A and B are shown apart, each in its own frame.
Chain A
Amino acid sequence: MKQSTTSNVDVKGALVKKGAFHGFLTSSPIALLPLFLFLLVFFLWPIGALTGNAFKSNEGAFTFSNVTMLFQDPYRMAFKNSITLGLLSGLVGAIPGLAIAMAIEKQGNQTLKKFIASISGVLANTGGVPLAFMFLAAFGPAGLVISALKSVGLDLYGLGFTLFSFTGLIIVYAYFQIPIMVIVITPALTSLRKEWKDSAANLGASKFHYWQKVGLPILMPSFIACYLLLFASAFSAFATARALTVGNIALVPLQIGALVDGNVTINQANLGYALAFGMIIISLVAMIPYIWIQNRTARWQVR
């Protein structure tokens, strides 16, 4: 119980000493400076620059002409295609994704869950040429599935189907859209408390009624949010679209790509920025509701 007074002072001194790391404990937001600067330089500045140039004419004057050109073909077509692709691919990913996520929850096996979580992680990041070639091997003109069907008399390519089409894109996109959906909707599913299911049953709701009156209404905001995420993902996808289409489908990311690649006259440089700006606007329209919904439902997902 006895302590020498000197060691007491030493200990106290250490606590009060304003050493190099005492500043770490400061609650001044100066600690956020590195992050702010980083985002400013490598994010806000590029975005700001391109927004500025979207409204510049070749002489440097302010103009809307770049943006108005977006409403004419071929750019109008590209936007229409990209938006449609986003909407459809979103559905094709969201609905099966939800069903699969529900099936996984139902199944309950822990190892299976881990397995699926890791596959989903990999598949969600799969895209571009590797993905395209995988599908070529299965659904390309000489693909396994196509040949197998041909041998039983069903010539899909003869009937007009081709992987290098809008439909093909949607099929291929599904390969990473569905895993993204599974990853993003699973937290919402697990936040469906067992007590709600039990209470509903206890109060007289059959399984169907539970889903109709409790389960789906609670899930709906998250489902919509995830759908928006999938929309944005398909709308902005570049690598896979570039691998599968050979310029036969007008898509905004590809057009920007073409302009950036340098096949461009001076006149069209600012057009590229206008296109990028258009992409940003549409993305904002989808993602801001996404963020807003996720914030609000986080309240229910106490876990």
Chain B
Amino acid sequence: MASAMKKNFAANLVLIVTGIFIFFPLYAATEFSLRNGAEHTHGFAAYRWIFAQSGFIENLGITLRVTSLAVVLNLLIMVPTVTWLHLSGQRYKRLVEILTILPLIFPVVALATGAQLAMPDFMQNSVYELSFFYVVIAMPYTYRALDIGLSGHPLSTITNAARNLGASWLKTLSSVVIPTIRPSILAALFLMVALSLGEFTLAQLLHWSTFPVWVTNVSQQNVIGATALAIGSLFFAWILLFGFSFLGSKNSTTVQEEE
């Protein structure tokens, strides 16, 4: 037993040191955000200040709407495509893999300039143009999440079985395919949401005011408030992701080793 402790000593040391470096800025920022101005007392004044800011609700709403559209677009485009790939399109997998990883190669800054140049006016006049680009930017991650998730199930086998037992295509999709792949869909959508909620570069360069852009502008005015905003959004995202990891994990692919 003692040797096991010793063996893990180096590992534990690394983890503890890492923990300190990760949490220290968090601690500093949290402490800072709870300060009451120049006095050395602490309180939630800064957090109240955030909500009092005009533009908080409005910009949050814009971001949420853009995110919703991005999620819908993802559902409409990515899910059927990846499902089809696994059911009858295995031949084209390589091609799609290459296509979906392309966005990873091109910097968002570059994409922004191209978007401004190429997009027709009716697109550029709507904040929802962001949704479309967010789907593109997220594609390497959402495709992979869907692909890996679907690979864990013998999709063509179970659809064949369902069809063989008399289910129509519609019934097969609704009662067999979708329930099976639902966790993967959720995982992919979650990636889309995470990206969209925090995306700054494209929104800023295309001159839209979304929540992250608004946060940046508002931060100039009040350092403590800005720090509170930073910490608040971080913890919020953290809790969301942590909770989600437990939600999605009950389906986690357990690949059996050969017997």
Q: Kindly identify, within residues 112 to 148 of chain B, every residue whose CB is under 8 Å from any CB belonging to chain A.
A: 112-119, 132-133, 135-136, 139
**Residue pair A236, B29 in contact (C-beta under 8 Å):** no
Q: Does B87 contact A (CB under 8 A)?
A: yes
**Residue pair B102, A137 in contact (C-beta under 8 Å):** no
**Residue pair B11, A106 in contact (C-beta under 8 Å):** yes
With a cutoff of 8 Å between Cβ atoms, the chain B residues found around residue A27 in the complex are 88-89, 91
Interface size grouping (class) on chain A: 35 or more
Question: Of the 9-residue stretches A61-69, A70-78, A96-104, A217-225, which lies at the interface with chain B?
Answer: A96-104
**Residue pair A49, B99 in contact (C-beta under 8 Å):** no
Known contacts A107-B12, A257-B109; decide if A117 and B245 are in contact (CB<8 Å). Answer: yes
**Residue pair A45, B118 in contact (C-beta under 8 Å):** yes
Q: Does B31 contact A (CB under 8 A)?
A: yes
The contact string, 1 if C-beta is below 8 Å from chain A, for chain B 1-29, is 00000011011101100100010111111
- Cα separation A130 to B225 with both chains bound (whole Å): 11
A175 to B, closest residue via Cβ: B25
Output the least CB separation between B208 and chain A (Å).
13
**Residue pair B107, A280 in contact (C-beta under 8 Å):** yes
The contact string, 1 if C-beta is below 8 Å from chain B, for chain A 250-283, is 0011001100110000000000110011011001
A17 to B, closest residue via Cβ: B168
**Residue pair A256, B231 in contact (C-beta under 8 Å):** no
- Cα separation A127 to B119 with both chains bound (whole Å): 27
Can you spell out 17 A-B residue pairs with CB atoms less than 8 angstroms apart? A31-B89, A43-B111, A46-B114, A103-B18, A106-B7, A125-B198, A127-B198, A129-B200, A129-B226, A133-B229, A134-B26, A137-B33, A232-B105, A260-B112, A279-B110, A280-B105, A287-B104
Can you list the 10 inter-chain pairs with the closest CB atoms, starting with the nearest?
A46-B114, A21-B169, A130-B230, A138-B28, A236-B107, A50-B114, A106-B11, A103-B14, A49-B118, A137-B32
Residues of B at the A interface (CB closer than 8 Å) are 7-8, 10-12, 14-15, 18, 22, 24-29, 31-33, 76-78, 80-81, 84, 87-89, 91-92, 95-96, 99, 101-119, 132-133, 135-136, 139, 163-164, 166, 168-170, 173, 194-195, 198, 200-201, 204-205, 212, 215-216, 219, 223, 226-227, 229-231, 233-234, 237-238, 241-242, 244-246, 249, 255
- 10 more contacts with CB within 8 A, not counting A34-B80, A42-B115, are A34-B81, A103-B14, A103-B15, A119-B238, A136-B223, A139-B25, A257-B109, A276-B114, A277-B110, A279-B109
